[in-house]
A and B are shown apart, each in its own frame.
Chain A
Amino acid sequence: MRVNLTRIIIFGFIFFCLSIFWLGLKKDQTYDTRNLIGNKINEFNIPSLDETNSFSEQYFLNNKFTIVNFFASWCAPCRDEHKYLVELSKNGAHIVGVSFKDKKSNTLDFLNQLGNPYKFIAADNDGKASISFGIYGIPESIIINSESVVVKKIIGPINQEIFKEILNIIK
């Protein structure tokens, strides 16, 4: 029998597409980053806001707990939760701020206006580096211990209740 290459390619291609669809159906579509708890944060590197330094997994070694807070000046709920961050910082929490898709001048204005609770400010200008932390919206905060393991993840703004919870963890 004569083998027709074009036909094989066409059938192959369609079969390939349909299998991808089939595999896609089998996949769990829920994108839930809560299961990040207990996971180790792998290698990452985000430049600091002043671009002189960078924030990487080495950073966690020095503190018992580090709170990584993802924020932006354009994000209204971030404005809302900021007072709790300032309060946490007064209580000795070690907070790193990651400015998410923001302009440097706006970030600085934001901090001048509302206070700076951060020991270190990193800038994720295109929002890509934050993905390795499972960030899909801001504000989000992650508490990480000295072994780079995620202890708690807070999706959405910190409120009074969560504030107390965090204090309990880091004490």
Chain B
Amino acid sequence: MLSEFGQLSIFLVTIFSVLIIYKSFLSLKNNIQIIEPGIYQLSLWQVTVTILSFLVLIAAYLVSDFSLINVYENSHTAKPLFYKIAGSWGNHEGSLLLWINILVIFSYLFLIFNFKHKKNFRLLTLVIQNLIILGFTLFLIFNSNPFSQLEPVPLEGLGLNPILQDPALALHPPMLYVGFVGCSIYFSAAIASMLSNYRGKLFANSIKSWVLISWCFQTLGISLGSIWAYYELGWGGFWFWDPVENASLLPWFAITALMHSVMVLEKRDNLYAWVIILCLITFILSVTGTFLVRSGILNSVHTFASDPARGIYILLFLSVMIFSSLIIFFRTFKKESYNFYFKSKETFILINNWFMAFFLVTVLVGTLYPIFLDVVTNEKISVGPPFYNIVIIPLAVPLLVLMVVGPQLSWINSKSLGVVKHKALIIIGALLINFIIYLIFGSSSFLSNLIFISALFLIIHSILEAYKIYQKKIKFELPRVISHLGFGLLVLFIGINHNFSNEQDFNLKVGEEKKFDEYSIVFKDLKLKQEKNYKAIIGDFEIKNFDKKINKILNPEIRIYSNPETLTYEAAIKTRIDSDLYLTMSNISRSDYYNIKFQHKPLMIWIWISVLMVVFGGFLQLMRNKNES
């Protein structure tokens, strides 16, 4: 029954899309200056039915309705409730339905919130957005239908891959989708803006909050993925430059550039073409990322069962999107004159954009080159961390310094670049703290020191600014200060973590002790535990650090999940304010020995806190935008 209900609602979404497009075209031809109530009603119906279809899918997961292939393949009656719900978007078909939900919700919200803007612009945005919705719903219906039925109905499902049963990962896809799919709305708005000649400040004003929302969610989504990798994958790292992570980073660079340059368009009525390009690129890169992940063209930790037809459809869709938007762009392109003074905010925002563009191209080349090589020469290579570290890390230094200088400059023209107050004092402070880092953690490379100092430069400067804001109660700069401060801290903590982690790999059996540096690790005991959906072998380890007087018990697990039968290694992580202790064990078959991987990672928790701070700044700005309007 749920299946028919789901099928029907998806079908209705398609019908509503067609009707909205048709009605909008009729409305574009008449001279009435407001949008007819009929279009609002259709949109409201569309969004209701879409959300309903997703609720139906969740309901099917909750009651374990295995007459749906999708539920049968990805769920199991013994699964905890939370993961039954999360399971609905943990697979290709379900996540595509979530995609469509976000497309439709954004389409509706854009329509009702932007009532101040010109009718033609809004209607065209609605049309373009509905064309995208139509493209995805047809894909869902004909290729990836989550409501497809199974006959006869199986009694039990196959279960969700246990590695995906993690709270951070359950929330990671919805966040990312809001971030990535949310970009669709200003892709549509950009095209509508070109077609209806609705340019400049007004256009910037109509999209800036949407850019900010999707930026916040993308940042959050990417970090949640990273947190999941750290806690669940058992490698002790949080970023691997894996092709799929890169695919998520590409639109992020574009959107970060866009978020900054849209300010120039709003304040100075300039950079229109560039903003349009960024709007288009952000969503195009999001879809490209989806293509790379879903088509099976990349091999990585993000495995969606791949199906060539799926890849071909997304590729076709992508090509239509790129070529039609490019043709419209060139048809309507008007040359702008850029005569910015060097010592101005807008110049520095442009420089920020060039940094982002450089990062984007670097990661794009690193991700696509292996595919290219495989196709052309049959050679298989992978581009790993060394490439990215060499190309990207040194550039952090000028970027951090520019993040201090840029915001201090005025629009149009500043008297001098020396607007940063208390420069000497801040630099001395940064050098001093860098020296303290050296005393606590030990020496590191020249480049690392340079990065620490420039990050500290930004941090101290931002703290001073925050203090000034607190004193003078001028709040409009606060979101930027918080985000930039968060970024400075992020770079600093990642730098310290990267340089001063202690990592050891060895074999131990119960009763043995391993000593190295100032640590001692005793393998005290091994226990068995039976849980609802898995069995666990739990190790009991005592970790001592003589220097820092740490004495902790860590309990890594080897879990044997029954549905589907899978072995996972759960890291034992003791998070402390100054460092994380990280320990995983894996069994060596037919032996009493276990392979132990131990890591002592300084300031780990602060990496997550800094990311949250960056995002918090974004949300704060969003609230400010709302109050302004």
- Find residues 375-430 in chain B having any chain A CB closer than 8 Å to their own CB: 375, 380
- A contacts with B, residue count (CB < 8 A): 22
Q: Contacts A14-B326, A18-B315, A76-B507; is A24 near B591 (CB within 8 Å)? A: no
CB distance from A19 to the nearest CB of B (A): 9
Tell whether, in the assembled complex, residue A80 and residue B591 are in contact, meaning their CB atoms are under 8 Å apart: yes
Query: Please, which residue of chain B has its CB at the minimum distance from the CB of A136?
Result: B380
CB distance from B424 to the nearest CB of A (A): 46
Tell whether, in the assembled complex, residue B591 and residue A79 are in contact, meaning their CB atoms are under 8 Å apart: yes
Interface string of B218-251 (1 = CB under 8 A from A): 0000000000000000000000000000000000
Tell whether, in the assembled complex, residue A80 and residue B326 are in contact, meaning their CB atoms are under 8 Å apart: no
Q: With an 8 A cutoff between CB atoms, is A17 at the interface?
A: yes
Query: Please, which residue of chain A has its CB at the minimum distance from the CB of B284?
Result: A14
Tell whether, in the assembled complex, residue B299 and residue A25 are in contact, meaning their CB atoms are under 8 Å apart: no
| Complex: A105 Cα to B396 Cα, angstroms | 39
Query: Please, which residue of chain A has its CB at the minimum distance from the CB of B330?
Result: A7
| Complex: A10 Cα to B326 Cα, angstroms | 9
Tell whether, in the assembled complex, residue A23 and residue B326 are in contact, meaning their CB atoms are under 8 Å apart: no
Query: Please, which residue of chain B has its CB at the minimum distance from the CB of A76?
Result: B588
Q: With an 8 A cutoff between CB atoms, is B322 at the interface?
A: yes
Q: With an 8 A cutoff between CB atoms, is B184 at the interface?
A: no
Q: With an 8 A cutoff between CB atoms, is B590 at the interface?
A: yes
Q: With an 8 A cutoff between CB atoms, is A20 at the interface?
A: yes
Contact of B372 among A7, A11, A20 (CB under 8 A): A20
Interface string of B36-53 (1 = CB under 8 A from A): 000000000000000000
Chain-A contact segment, one of B125-133, B290-298, B542-550: B290-298
Tell whether, in the assembled complex, residue B374 and residue A27 are in contact, meaning their CB atoms are under 8 Å apart: yes
- Which residues of chain B come closer than 8 Å to A18, judged between CB atoms? 315, 318-319, 322
Tell whether, in the assembled complex, residue B371 and residue A21 are in contact, meaning their CB atoms are under 8 Å apart: yes
Tell whether, in the assembled complex, residue B589 and residue A80 are in contact, meaning their CB atoms are under 8 Å apart: yes
Interface string of A79-104 (1 = CB under 8 A from B): 11000000000000000000000000
Q: With an 8 A cutoff between CB atoms, is A77 at the interface?
A: yes
Q: Contacts A18-B315, A18-B319, A22-B315; is A76 near B375 (CB within 8 Å)? A: no
Secondary structure type dominating chain A contacts: helix
Tell whether, in the assembled complex, residue B297 and residue A25 are in contact, meaning their CB atoms are under 8 Å apart: yes
Query: Please, which residue of chain B has its CB at the minimum distance from the CB of A11?
Result: B326
Q: Contacts A18-B319, A20-B375, A74-B505; is A29 near B299 (CB within 8 Å)? A: yes
Contact of A21 among B315, B323, B330, B588 (CB under 8 A): B315
CB distance from B302 to the nearest CB of A (A): 14
Contact of A24 among B323, B375, B507, B593 (CB under 8 A): B375
| Complex: A14 Cα to B368 Cα, angstroms | 13
Candidate in A7, A22, A24, A76 with the most chain B CB atoms within 10 angstroms: A24
Tell whether, in the assembled complex, residue A80 and residue B374 are in contact, meaning their CB atoms are under 8 Å apart: no
Query: Please, which residue of chain B has its CB at the minimum distance from the CB of A26?
Result: B308
| Complex: A11 Cα to B308 Cα, angstroms | 25
Tell whether, in the assembled complex, residue B375 and residue A27 are in contact, meaning their CB atoms are under 8 Å apart: yes
Q: With an 8 A cutoff between CB atoms, is B311 at the interface?
A: yes
- Find residues 1-40 in chain A having any chain B CB closer than 8 Å to their own CB: 7, 10-11, 14, 17-18, 20-27, 29, 31
Q: Which 8 A-B pairs have the closest CB atoms?
A: A76-B588, A23-B375, A25-B311, A24-B297, A24-B371, A20-B372, A24-B375, A18-B319
Could you give 20 example pairs across A and B, Cβ below 8 Å?
Answer: A7-B330, A11-B323, A11-B326, A14-B322, A18-B318, A20-B375, A22-B315, A23-B375, A24-B295, A24-B374, A25-B297, A25-B315, A29-B296, A74-B505, A76-B586, A76-B591, A76-B593, A79-B591, A80-B589, A80-B590
Extra 8 A-B pairs, beta carbons < 8 Å, given A18-B315, A20-B368, A76-B589: A14-B322, A18-B318, A21-B371, A24-B295, A24-B297, A27-B375, A29-B297, A80-B588
